[in-house]
C-alpha cells in the first residue's frame, strides 16, 4: 500500500492529519499497538516539523507486510547542523511557533527514539528529507 500526502507550511490546523490517517490504516491492518504508537509518534514529529519550519512538503508512505517506510520531503530553510539538531532541546523554531506549544527541540530526538531506522538529509536553502523505517512484526 502506498499513500502520498501534501503538507502546507504554517497550517497548524491540519498538523497531524497524516499521522492520524496512518494510525487508522495500521489499526485496520491489525498491527501491534506498540508499533503503531512508535510509528505515529515519529511521523507526527516529522509532519509538525514541516508545518513549523518549511514552506511545504510531501509525505510518502509505503506499507508492506513486514515494514512501513515513510519519506518526508520539504521545501524550506534546511538544517545547517543535523548533529546539533538531533540534540534534545535544540530548536530553531520561531517565537510564534513556540507560543503555540511547538518547537521544544524534541522532534528529531523523538523521531530517532521511535523508529528502527532514521535518516535525515538536508541542504541549506533547499529543504530537508527524513526517512523513517519501522518493522511491523
Residue range(s) defining the domain that contains residue 12: 2-135
Please answer whether residues 23 and 40 qualify as being in contact, where contact means their C-beta atoms are separated by less than 8 angstroms.
yes
Question: What is the model's pTM?
Answer: 0.93
128 vs 126: CA distance, rounded Å:
7
Q: Are strands 117-123 and 56-63 parallel, antiparallel or unpaired?
A: unpaired
- In this predicted model, what pLDDT tens digit does every residue of 76-125 receive, in sequence order? 999 999 999 998 888 888 788 887 778 777 889 999 999 999 999 999 99
- In this predicted model, what pLDDT tens digit does every residue of 8-24 receive, in sequence order? 999 999 999 999 999 99
Number of domains in the chain: 1
The CATH number that applies at residue 11 is: 3.30.565.10
Q: Is 53 exposed, middle or buried (0-12, 13-18, 19+ CB in 10 A)?
A: buried
Amino acid at each position: 500500500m502506498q499513500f502520498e500526502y501534501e503538507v502546507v507550511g504554517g497550517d497548524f490546523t491540519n498538523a497531524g492529519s497524516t499521522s492520524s490517517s496512518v494510525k487508522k490504516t495500521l489499526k485496520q491492518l491489525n498491527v501491534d499497538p506498540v508499533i503503531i504508537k512508535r510509528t505515529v509518534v515519529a511521523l507526527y514529529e516529522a509532519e509538525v516539523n514541516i508545518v513549523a519550519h518549511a514552506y511545504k512538503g510531501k509525505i510518502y508512505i509505503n506499507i508492506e507486510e513486514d515494514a512501513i517506510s515513510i519519506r518526508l520531503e520539504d521545501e524550506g530553510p534546511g538544517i545547517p547542523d543535523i548533529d546539533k539538531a538531533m540534540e534534545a532541546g535544540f530548536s530553531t523554531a520561531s517565537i510564534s511557533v513556540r507560543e503555540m506549544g511547538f518547537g521544544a527541540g524534541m522532534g528529531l530526538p523523538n523521531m530517532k527514539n521511535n523508529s528502527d531506522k532514521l535518516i535525515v538529509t538536508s541542504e541549506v536553502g533547499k529543504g530537508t528529507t527524513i526517512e523513517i523505517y519501522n518493522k511491523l512484526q
